[in-house]
Chain A
């Protein structure tokens, strides 16, 4: 069946370090792919998305590319800030209306 696997955390980084969070999926079709972020004490919000192969989503310095050949959607940021400390969720949409969330990766950025 359809499934998503996300790199487990927690991840602790220093400011200006490079961040990558791996996300791979297994699907019978071609899902739309999302990354959501949850800041402490808040609900989730969309960080970026990609709807077809080779699309690149980007927002707030984060990027992720829809890789059909490797069924991956890895999240990257070149230089993190303390304000990027949050939980990040990879979320393919395998079926209409229904997101399937990865386990979440907690990222802490130290000054």
Chain B
């Protein structure tokens, strides 16, 4: 059983398009995250939800909008995609505020 899953694994699209990435966790965790990893492997936190409430909202263009329909799901919608949005996006979850975060396998987004 996959603990944190993401779909799709790969996403290739053109500039200006709108796309979504989905994340689901079956660990019963209350908190979920979105991270962006660039080509140099640098990881940046984007958003976090706790019990469907937004608790972390880093400096991210407002073209990015997270949505949490329930505690087990956190989706990321991106409008008007730009070349600089090309990256690997990771979803993660945790059960405690100081605990281990469990990461999904990543979604590699390529904008052409």
Contacts and interface: CB of A to CB of B under 8 A. Distances in A.
A34 B103 CA distance: 14
Consensus secondary structure, chain B interface: strand
Contact of B100 (A43, A49, A101): A49
Interface string A29-52: 000101000100011111001010
17 contacts: A43-B92, A43-B104, A43-B106, A44-B101, A46-B101, A49-B100, A89-B43, A93-B98, A96-B97, A96-B98, A97-B31, A98-B56, A99-B101, A103-B40, A103-B42, A104-B43, A106-B41
Interface of A: 32, 34, 38, 42-46, 49, 51, 87, 89, 93, 96-99, 101, 103-104, 106
Interface of B: 4, 31, 40-45, 48, 50, 55-56, 90, 92, 94, 97-98, 100-106
